[in-house]
Amino acid sequence: MVAAAATVAGIGLALPPAAKQTDLWESYFREHFPASARSLAERIFAHSGVDTRQACVSPMIEDVSDWSTAKRMQRYLVEALPLGKEAVSRALTDADLSINEIGLFAVCSCTGYVTPGLDILLSRDLGMAPDTQRLFIGHMGCYAALPGLGAVGDYVTARGRPALLLCAELTSLHIQPAATRFDTQQIVAHALFSDAAAAVVVRPGGSGYALAEVVSVTDTATADHMTWDVTDLGFRMGLSPKVPNVLAQHVRGLVDGLLSRHGLTRGDVDGWAVHPGGPRILNVVERELELTAEDMAASRETLAENGNCSSPTVLLIVERLRRRVNPPERIVTLAFGPGLTLYASLLVRS
């Protein structure tokens, strides 16, 4: 008997309160950066491609920049549990499944750690069956949703039972202390990142988007180009300006190889969900894959309305595509993160 395809049957999103990028700049970040960097920082914020973004802990209300990592992790649990519960509940409703039907619950997060983890605490709060298997995927960064999707997809195919994936990130907890020296990498990170949770229900067969394949490539020679270091004052982003150049070397081969194995070319894809690591990332992908402005619209709109939410972001874009009046037949997702690692998947409407 041929196993039914693992199919994305439901998606649920949970977004904290949003703020305008201009308000964040005027009310907080203008005075957060040293005077020597203020002019450049204002330009970076203005040209980030972000109009609004969300924060569980808004710096305009509560400044966490001098909090210890321990205090930030305590707050992570307080904020992440209700956000994750909301996203999961919406995904289950969208898929018309009950919590007891879930065989595997996977959670991706790189912005907070607690033990027992979100996978166990949410299982408790949502009333999952005691024999529900759990998987925590940590510290993979912005691309984590795609290996997470691959893992739950493999489970669904092998076991014939539905699975659930949650990506939850609270980047607002990791604002760094006011710098006394010029640090462009921190300016860029503070201009882009946002909070969100996204959950996906994957089941064997049925209507939705069948997961055709998940692929990746990692360029370990550039491992120092993107880092996420645990410090005494939260997690600190390292982001080299060379990242777009590395992506340019690999993204075309990754995507073309994925599509060719399914008898497809880029022209056969009518939905593109490209993780908006920033405007330069999107520009490079658009150029290297010879995509149109319309192809990139959902990714740019997500960056503008939600910012870079790390791992949930690509799922926000898929949901935007999925809710169009005429949903795409084929979606290619792309996400990038530490490694440097590129991940891609092919989703086919069923």
Structure confidence by residue, pLDDT tens digits, 96-149? 999 999 999 999 999 999 999 999 999 999 999 999 999 999 989 999 999 999
pTM reported for the whole predicted model? 0.96
Cα dist from 331 to 71, 144, 187, 196, 252, whole Å: 40, 18, 33, 22, 16
Least confident of 172-186, 203-217, 239-253, 312-326: 172-186
The active-site residue, picked from 56, 108, 110, 142, is 142
Averaged pLDDT of the chain: 95
Asked if residues 16 and 80 have their Cβ atoms less than 8 Å apart, the reply is: no
49 contact partners, CB below 8 Å, separation of at least 6:
276, 278, 279, 282, 300, 303, 304
pLDDT cut 90: percent of the chain above it:
91
Q: Is 108 a catalytic residue?
A: no
Amino acid present at 117: G
Domain ranges in the chain? 6-204, 209-349
Per-residue confidence band for 308, with pLDDT thresholds at 50, 70 and 90: very high
Amino acid present at 286: E
pLDDT tens digits, 141-196: 999 999 999 999 999 999 999 999 999 999 999 999 987 556 888 899 999 999 99
pLDDT at 241 over 60: yes
Backbone angles phi, psi at 229, to 5 degrees: -95, 135
Q: Which CATH architecture has domain 6-204?
A: 3-Layer(aba) Sandwich (3.40)
Predicted pLDDT at 92: 98
| Protein fold of 209-349 | Peroxisomal Thiolase; Chain A, domain 1 (3.40.47)
